[in-house]
Every structure is written in structure tokens, then in C-alpha cells.
Amino acid sequence: MSNEENKKVQLKVYRTNYNKDDSSHYDKFEVPVKRWTTVLDALLHVKSYSDSSVGIRYSCRMASCGSCGMKINGKPSLACYTKISELKDDVIVCEPLPNFPRIRDLVSDFSQFFSHHKNMKPFIQNDKVSVDIDDKSDLVEFEQTHEDVDKYLQFSYCIRCGLCYSACPTVATDPKFPGPQALSQAYRYEADGRDNSKKTRFNIIDERHGIWRCHFAGSCSVVCPKGVDPALGIQLLKGHMLGLSKNNKKISTLRTKNNE
Amino acid sequence: MGTVSNNKENNNMNSGREGIRGWLNPTRYGWERVSYWLQRLTGLFLLVYFVGHVYETSSLTNGVDAWNSMLELTQTIGGHIFLILVIGTSTFHTVNGIRLIFTESGKGLGKPGRPDYPYNPSSLNYTQKSGIWIALLLACIAMLYGGMVLFGEGG
Ligand code: HEM
Ligand code: SF4
Ligand code: FES
């Protein structure tokens, strides 16, 4: 125990500022670590006691907001979800996420990644249900069984952290490719019984830079911190689009106040 | 967005994309990434071989001497090694390719379910990993056998 108390590691942090004429380099910091210290804890320690100008982005510190993604010892990871003791290394290298434009230090620009997500129309569309409701008594709800929910639940756990996007070898060369996050969200709504608009999303992803550029390298599922398994969603979606696997989707029944 | 507008915009570091360099290193993300890398590499190699093969066999139209001098090319040590590579790559590409036809149509990857820590993604399951290993193993066996025939007695 006492041995553990005084352990120190070296944190190598990628530094650059694209708004200044600043060439990129690494700054080294010594940080004390405990068994439970995360990479984010270590970076915050650096900001408090060594160099407050290190640029990082974070919020929840508990793998929920998806903002602290970075490359840690070569692998896209969440800083708040990566314990230094698990890395089994005395040097921890923090770099910005690959495949994202860089802003400053470890902070990258997510606008293109988010726009791919938005392109998938990531919300429930159902032409049987009116969106504009004036009278509360017209509100309806969908009935779904637990089995119906299990078909898409894991994909809905995505926190849009972008780790999958930075691990994908197709994204690395093709900015127009939607990437694993967006494509697995297309599957998430395709598998959701409350949504009945599959053709619109099929048309969006069935194009030259679309879903067929995925060759199942599986790296997205290796790095995903939430168990989304985007590669699974994408391959299942391909099967549906090819007509090779049945889509057993039952559109959920509507429950209104009147027919209860 | 305009968050990153400056004149260095177009250099590769700022766009952050790994580009072809990301593709070249298959060692970082497990066996599925190796499969992806090898499938492409072997596919391209076979394409080169196929073009060469058509050229080789078409020499027959120039008479039997032209054909024989082509055949002599494959009787050299380099030619033997090249043919052994053709045997290995075609075995791997075919076996793994058949596996990929299934997986990329959503077969054999398991079903979505409730994710529980430590989140073992079902698409990276051991049946599929074994498929990659078997393809590699068969490629090695085929190359060994090919090597024995080519370099063995009377080769
Ligand atoms: C029975 C034999 C074969 C099977 C089952 C097969 C299967 C496949 C499959 C499933 C893919 C797509 C993999 C992916 O999605 O990344 C593929 C890609 C490819 N194949 Fe084959 N193939 C065979 C023979 C050949 C031959 C003879 C050639 C060369 C003349 C060839 C050249 C290629 C190339 C260039 C690619 C593209 C690789 C890539 O984009 O990653 N294949 N093959
Ligand atoms: S699929 Fe996983 S890795 Fe990709 S953005 Fe969502 S939570 Fe992050
Ligand atoms: S700080 Fe929210 S995911 Fe890491």
C-alpha cells in the first residue's frame, strides 16, 4: 500500500495552438498517481499545479458526456474512464483524437462528426402520429415489449464521444463517410418499433460514400466505451438493406387515451 | 462553425485525419483489423497476379517458344517464391472472403442485447476470430504444401 501511495508517472501531453504560429510539441509532467487515478485526474492535476494552459475538454468525469476523448498511449480512449494503473506504463502519452480537426492541445473539433450524426435524422419519425398537438387528450404513447426495446437499446447508449470515428480506417481517408457512430444510429432507428420511416434513412446511407465503405475492420467496437458495438449495428443494417436478413420489425401499437 | 479557421487549415496535422498511414498499421485494434488489412492486401496482390497471369497465358498465341520462355520464369527460385505467395494469398483471401460475405450481411455476429460491463462486443466474438485464424492456418498449410511440391524432388 505505502509503495503505491508515492508512485509517479510521466505525462506527455501534445501541445499546439492553431490560432497562433505554434509548432506542435510534447510537454512532460510528473504526476503522482494512486491506484484509482484516471488520466483525466492526472491532466487536472497538471492544470492545477504545473501548467494551467493545457487545453482539455471534459465535463461529467464519469463516461457519460462524451467530451474527454483523446488518444492515450496510441489508443482512442475516454480520459475519465482510463485508469493509469490499468495502462501498466510509466509514461502516459496524451494526444488529440485522430480523424478530428485539431483546435488546441487535446481539444478537437467535433462539428463534422456531429453533422454526420444529424444527417441520419436521429429521432423517431412516425407518420401515424401528429407532432403538433394542441389538446392534451390527443397525446398517444407507443407500446413496446422488453424484447422490442432490446433490439435497439445498446445503440441508444451512444454518448457521441467520437472514439469509434477516430479508430475507423475508412474515416481516416474519407471525410464524406458517415462513420461508425452515425451508421449505428441509423440502425438504432431502423430497429426501433416506434419509427416507421426506414426508406428515408436507407436513401441517405446507400450512396457512394455511404455504408458500403464499411469493410468490418471492427476497430470501432474495440474502442467504444459504452458497449454500443457499432460494427454489429452496421453489419445488421447491411443485411437488411441487401434483403438477406428479415427485418422482423413490428411497428409498435399506439395507445391513446380513448382505447385504453 | 468557424472554430478552426486559419491559413494552416489544409495541412494534414490540423485536419487530424490519419490518412493512408492509419491503414498501414494493422497492429492496434485486434484481429478484425488484421483481417481487414490482409483481405485488402491479398486482394490487390491477387489482382496484380491475375493481370500477370492473363499476360503469361496469352503468350501462347505467339507460339510455343514464347510460351516455354514464359514457363521458365516460374521455374526460378524467385518464381517459386512468387507462386507460393499466390497460393497463400489466394487461400487466405478465399477462406476469409467467404467468412466476410456472411459477417457483412449480419450473419454470425450475435444479437443486440443489454450491454453489461465489461462490454464484450458480440461482433468481435471468438467464432469470428477463429475464422480469421483458420484462414491464416490454411494459408500456411497451403504454402507449405506448395513449397514442398515446388522445391521438392523433381520441382
Ligand atoms: C473465391 C474467391 C474469392 C472470394 C470468396 C473473395 C471474396 C472477397 C470479399 C468478400 C471481398 C470484400 C471484403 C471487404 O468487404 O473488405 C473481397 C475483396 C477484394 N477481392 Fe476478393 N474474393 C475472391 C477472389 C478474388 C480474386 C481472384 C481477386 C483478384 C483477381 C480478388 C480481388 C479482390 C480485391 C482487389 C478486393 C478489394 C479489397 C478491399 O477493398 O479491401 N478476389 N474479396
Ligand atoms: S458508438 Fe461508442 S465510441 Fe462511437 S460515439 Fe457512440 S459511445 Fe462513442
Ligand atoms: S468527462 Fe464526460 S465522458 Fe469523460
Q: What is the pLDDT along chain B (155 residues), one digit of tens a residue?
A: 334 433 344 444 577 898 888 888 899 999 999 999 999 999 999 999 999 999 989 988 988 998 998 889 888 999 999 999 999 999 999 999 999 999 999 999 999 999 888 899 999 999 999 999 999 999 999 999 999 999 886 54
pLDDT digits (tens, 9 = 90+) for A203-240: 999 999 999 999 999 999 999 999 999 999 999 999 99
Whether the CB of A243 is below 8 Å from some CB of chain B: the reply is: no
Question: What confidence score (pLDDT) does residue A198 get?
Answer: 67
In sequence order, the 6+-apart residues with CB closer than 8 A to the CB of A180 are A164, A165, A168, A171, A214, A220, A230, A231, A234
Of A19, A152, A238, nearest to B104 by CB-CB distance is: A238
Subunit contact B105:A242, Cβ cutoff 8 A: yes
Coil, strand or helix: which one is A251? coil
Q: Torsion over CA of A104, A107, A113 and A117, rounded to 10 degrees?
A: -140
Answer yes or no: is pLDDT of A258 > 70. Answer: no
Q: Which ligand is nearest to the CA of A182?
A: 2
> Which residues make Cβ contacts (< 8 Å) with residue B71, sequence separation at least 6?
none
Q: Cell triple for residue B22?
A: 492509419
What is the per-residue burial (b if ≥16 Cβ within 10 Å, else e) of A224-244?
bbbbbbbbbbbbbbbbbbeee
pLDDT at A30: 96
C-beta neighbour count of B134 within 10 angstroms: 13
Residue, of A134 and A170, whose pLDDT is higher: A170
The x, y and z cell numbers of residue A238, run together, are 447491411
pTM for the model: 0.91
Q: What's the CA angle centered on A62, arms B124 and A221, to 5 degrees?
A: 15
Pick from A92, A75, A123: which is nearest to A14 by CA?
A92
Q: Residue A17: what pLDDT?
A: 80
* pLDDT in the model for residue A6: 75
- Give the model's pLDDT for residue A132: 81
Q: Are A25 and A111 in contact (CB under 8 A)?
A: no
What residue ranges define each of the domains in chain A, with the CATH number in brackets?
3-108 (3.10.20.30), 111-241 (1.10.1060.10)
Chains A & B: contacts with CB separation below 8 Å:
165
CA distance A234 to A219: 13
- Find out whether A93 and A159 touch, Cβ atoms under 8 Å: no
Confidence of residue A44 (pLDDT cuts 50, 70, 90): very high
Considering only CA atoms, which residue is closest to atom 15 of ligand 1?
A215
Rounded CA-CA distance A36/A85 in Å is: 7
Contacts of A225 in chain B (CB under 8 A): 119
Range from A74-83, A149-158, A239-248 carrying the lowest mean pLDDT: A239-248
Question: Is the confidence metric ipTM above 0.90 for this complex?
Answer: no
Closest-approaching ligand to the CA atom of A57: 3
Q: What is the pLDDT of residue A257?
A: 63
A69: phi then psi, degrees, rounded to nearest 5: -65, 135
What gap in Å lies between CA A70 and CA A105, rounded to an integer? 10
Question: Which domains does chain B show, CATH number per domain?
Answer: 28-108+121-151 (1.20.1300.10)
Residues of chain A above pLDDT 70, percent: 94
